[in-house]
Amino acid sequence: MAPERFAGEESPASDIYSLGVMLYEMLSGHCPFAASTLGKLFYLLTTRTGDALPELDRPLSPGLFELVKKACAQEPGRRYSDCDAFISALRPYTRADQGVGSTRRGMQGGGRLRHW
């Protein structure tokens, strides 16, 4: 949840934050901000300084990590302006033949779900 949501504020930047957190989780396998209680999570999200994100455990393109950090910026004004800007920044890190959300591919490995 974007930090500003705790204050009852929302904007497209809140969605960009959520996308950044999901991307971090996909790349790392864990949530960037973990806490044992909701109160501790609230404190962590609202008091962290700068745009600190835990470093990932595996090598990653510095540009991609910077993209995630920008999407998860503490201040909404420091995030991508909209989803189009976020996707444009993400596109260089995708396979050229796949694009970002532009194709409907079946699952690999014989999964039951065939299309998104």
- Which CATH number, 2.40.160.40, 1.10.510.10, 2.40.110.10, 3.60.15.10, labels domain 3-93? 1.10.510.10
Rounded to whole angstroms, how far apart are CA atoms 20 and 18? Answer: 5
DSSP code, position 106: P
**What are 61's two structure tokens?**
């393109």
Q: Where are the domains of the chain?
A: 3-93
pLDDT at 80: 95
Confidence of residue 91 (pLDDT cuts 50, 70, 90): very high
Letter for the amino acid at 65? F
Residue-level pLDDT at 52: 59
Quick one: average pLDDT of 49-61?
65
Rg of the chain's alpha carbons, rounded to an integer? Answer: 16
The band of 49, judged by pLDDT with boundaries at 50, 70 and 90, is low
**Residue range 23-38, pLDDT digits in tens:** 988 888 888 877 899 8
Looking at residue 13, what is its pLDDT? 92
Structure tokens at 88: 């444009």
